[in-house]
Homo-oligomer: A and B are copies of this chain.
């Protein structure tokens, strides 16, 4: 083997072993959130700290920098979309980012994040924003330092966004989200003024938990989540994680008196899981075996949850089974009433309770506010008022309190700046990809109505999942749909579905 090939092999072995340790970290996290006895939380934190210390040390080893410099200049990196090219490029990107952050800043960010999350709990419970404010100011100052240390193309926010949506630019996202806002705010108003609304109470009837679980498993398996290579468990705040190439774990939570929470939650997490299960197992732990971005990951969950799971054709197939499973709750409910209920649009002050359409306005508000905070255009003291003003303008609602307003999300307290827009990017990508799949596969609705979901899953696997990180999110969308990211597909989808439901 030529020396450069041997060096590349050495790099891959090193990264793969780091990946093994990261996968153990995933399992510790999963276990903590699903099973861990409460009294064991403190020692679990010790386990996470020791392990992440070992991982960080491996990821910032100076010899790794030497290897990457040599390999980046070699013919193995010439084609950026080749296996070796993508691997070297992405590992170098991660390495360069990591070594630019001073150890003291990393530690300060971690400590402030832990303290911020604790302070958030108390502030939210006591409806006391002032209690959180000093830590939030500190967090913002640290995030500025982080952005300055890693560097950015146009603005500080770019540096933070890049952690979740590699290569994406704030100005670009802002443009697309502004287009979306300009059409979404009027749509929401039209719906409000339509005078129509479904009977949502039918989703709040009695749905026995064990039947919900069996039904959820059946639906998740039907859309392509492979239970031989995964699990479904119960947790308080549902998530998906893959602590191994053939070990994808999705989670949900059940309420006896609510149908939508568990079912659409399961579809959402199964969408994430189907992506993880579609990544090339042989490259697990290396860039070609990992998800390309948070936005693309979210697109997969939103696609199965909303574009598929809230479509009429999906329920043409599954509704008879649902009625059989829940005869008490759904026996007397017509499909159209059920379909309208699961697509109810109703502005709410709470993001996680919002619907497919207005959800994006919640994200927009956060995206605009966090940029202003970071750039110093908005002070922490003025944040609650700014929050409420945006909710009035975009959604026409007024939070009853800061707890139901600016304090509702943990993200900022945990230092997650730049994360929110990936939720809306997910919705945008999902609609754009779905519209293309519909064209390519010749009418998905008919397939869904016949219970055929495999063509769509296989299409996504080929176009997205199998690619790992060989292309950027923007490249994938351009390549697969022939167009750059835009608000049009999402608006087309929402206008189409909601237009006929609300007769607007």
Contacts and interface: CB of A to CB of B under 8 A. Distances in A.
Interface string A33-70: 00111111011101100110010000000000000000
Contact of A37 (B23, B24, B47, B247): B247
A228 interface: yes
A503 to B, nearest CB: 47
Interface string A245-280: 111000000000000000000000000000000000
A21 interface: yes
A195 B50 CA distance: 62
Contacts of A44: 244, 247
A231 interface: yes
Contacts of A227: 37
Number of copies: 2
A28 interface: yes
A47 B28 contact: no
B37 A27 contact: no
Interface in A8-31: 17, 20-21, 23-24, 27-28, 31
Contacts of A421: none
A204 interface: no
A218 interface: no
A247 B43 contact: yes
Given A28-B27, A31-B31, A244 B20 contact: no
Contacts of A23: 43, 47
Contact of A228 (B17, B20, B38, B230): B38
A196 interface: no
A47 B244 CA distance: 9
Given A37-B247, A39-B228, A47 B20 contact: yes
B228 A43 contact: no
A25 B193 CA distance: 59
A229 interface: yes
Contacts of A28: 24, 27
Interface residues of A, number: 32
A50 B21 contact: yes
A228 B37 CA distance: 6
A284 interface: yes
Interface string A224-249: 00011111000000000000111100
Interface string A349-387: 000000000000000000000000000000000000000
Contacts of A38: 228
Nearest to A244: B43
Contact of A231 (B37, B47, B230, B245): B37
A245 B24 contact: no
A27 to B, nearest CB: 6
A42 B43 CA distance: 28
Contact of A36 (B36, B37, B247): B247
Interface in A140-187: none
Nearest to A17: B50
A230 B228 CA distance: 28
Given A24-B28, A27-B27, A43-B246, A35 B284 contact: no
Contacts of A50: 17, 20-21
Contacts of A27: 27-28, 31, 47
Given A20-B50, A36-B247, A43 B284 contact: yes
Contacts of A246: 37, 39-40, 42-43
A48 to B, nearest CB: 9
Interface in A282-307: 284
Contact of A24 (B36, B51, B231): B51
A27 B30 CA distance: 12
A230 B244 CA distance: 26
Nearest to A233: B35
A312 B100 CA distance: 70
| Max chain B C-beta neighbours (<10 A), residue from A21, A36, A38, A244 | A244
A310 B11 CA distance: 59
30 contacts: A17-B50, A20-B50, A21-B50, A21-B51, A24-B24, A24-B28, A24-B47, A27-B27, A27-B28, A27-B47, A31-B31, A35-B231, A36-B247, A37-B227, A37-B228, A37-B229, A39-B228, A39-B246, A40-B229, A40-B244, A40-B246, A42-B246, A43-B244, A43-B245, A43-B246, A43-B247, A43-B284, A44-B244, A44-B247, A47-B244
Given A39-B247, A43-B284, A44-B244, 8 more contacts: A17-B50, A24-B24, A24-B47, A37-B228, A37-B230, A40-B229, A42-B246, A43-B245
The 5 A-B pairs with the shortest beta carbon distances in the complex, nearest first, are: A40-B247, A39-B246, A43-B244, A40-B246, A20-B50
